[in-house]
Each structure stands twice: as structure tokens, then as C-alpha cells.
């Protein structure tokens, strides 16, 4: 990222914070764009200013130097984030705040067609749950469900489900027990 792009990102975060807007960061690291050391330094600084950080496992390792979801999330919290969610692919996700944490299993997919877009689909589902004022655990579960749909088609937005396809009524309540 260029210095002006970095400045723009930090300015946008500061503006959001001044206006009590929750800032969510999905690192989506592309090492073709920059060296790992430079990426780590810039992105961990961004993460520390964000309320919710959602790395995948490899991104979490790069950002924090940690090797387990628990330690990655804990490092993100110590760095200033309020919520750390580590996307674990077929293993689901791990989430942590200062007062709660846990693993949420992935939704089962019988045939994976294309993994492209599953991480973004997870974030869309997770944020959709939070916007409905669901718990973090319920929101992670919804994120896993939306990601599962994305795996069943070619492309990165074609598989996003409608609300009626993922509306977690009674079956979700049973999964959360």
C-alpha cells in the first residue's frame, strides 16, 4: 500500500471512531502486493485501531506471530481490538472478546465447488448477525452458514444465500446449546 493509501485508511478509521462507528477489519492479505514484514507492521497497526478484526488463520499468524486461534485472538485483543474472530475454513471459526470466547463448528458442505469468496461470505453473515443484535456466537454461526453456501458455486458472490435459506430459527438455537 502506498503511503497516501495508508494515510487514507488511518484517517477513515479516525473519522469513524470520532463518530462512534464500529470499525471492522478483514485483513485479506495479499503478499503479492508487499513484503510480509511491511504488511505485518502496517496491518497490525490498523487492526489495533479497529473494533472487530477477522483474519483467516494464515493472516492471523502473519499479523500476530502466533500459531493458534486462541493466541491470535488474544494478541488482537491485547493490541486494542474488542473482538477477534479467526476464520478456520472447514473447522469453522474461533471468536474472543474480553469476556467470552469459543469455537463454532463450520456448517457441513457435501460438495465444495469453489472456495473463492467464502471468507468474505463469512464476514457478511457474521456482520448480519451483529446488526440483528445477536450474540457473537450466534453471529459466528450465521457467518459459517453463509460461507457454506458460497462454497457450493463458482465465483465469489454468486452463492450468497437469501435470508430464508439461512434464517436460523429453532435449529440454530439447538446448535448453540
Per-residue pLDDT tens over the stretch 104-162 = 999 888 888 878 788 999 999 999 999 999 999 999 999 999 999 888 888 766 667 87
Which of these, 63, 3, 76, lies nearest to 27 by C-alpha position? 63
Active site residue 171: no
Residues 163, 177: Cα–Cα separation, whole Å: 22
Domains recognised in the chain with CATH numbers: 1-104 (3.40.1190.20), 107-177 (no CATH)
Q: What is the DSSP letter of 158?
A: T
pLDDT tens figures, 58-108 = 999 999 999 999 999 999 999 999 999 999 999 999 999 999 999 999 988
CB 50 within 8 A of CB 81: yes
CB 34 within 8 A of CB 61: no
CB 139 within 8 A of CB 130: yes
Q: Which of 7, 20, 120, 171 is catalytic?
A: 120
Amino acid at each position: 500500500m502506498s503511503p497516501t493509501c495508508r494515510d487514507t485508511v488511518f484517517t477513515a478509521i479516525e473519522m469513524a471512531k470520532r463518530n462512534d462507528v464500529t470499525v471492522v477489519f478483514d485483513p485479506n492479505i495479499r503478499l503479492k502486493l508487499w513484503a510480509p514484514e511491511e504488511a505485518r507492521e502496517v496491518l497490525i497497526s490498523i487492526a489495533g485501531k479497529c473494533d472487530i478484526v477477522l483474519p483467516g488463520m494464515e493472516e492471523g499468524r502473519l499479523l500476530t506471530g502466533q500459531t493458534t486461534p486462541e493466541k491470535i485472538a488474544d494478541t488482537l485483543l491485547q493490541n486494542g481490538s474488542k473482538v477477534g474472530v479467526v476464520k478456520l475454513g472447514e473447522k469453522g471459526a474461533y471468536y474472543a472478546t474480553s469476556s467470552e470466547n469459543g469455537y463454532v463448528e463450520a456448517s457441513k458442505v457435501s460438495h465444495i465447488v469453489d472456495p473463492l469468496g467464502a471468507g468474505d461470505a463469512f464476514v457478511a453473515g457474521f456482520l448480519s448477525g451483529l446488526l440483528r443484535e445477536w450474540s457473537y456466537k450466534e453471529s459466528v454461526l450465521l457467518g459459517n452458514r453463509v460461507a457454506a453456501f458460497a462454497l457450493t458455486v463458482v465465483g465469489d458472490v454468486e452463492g450468497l444465500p437469501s435470508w430464508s435459506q439461512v434464517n436460523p430459527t429453532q435449529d440454530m438455537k439447538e446448535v448453540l446449546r
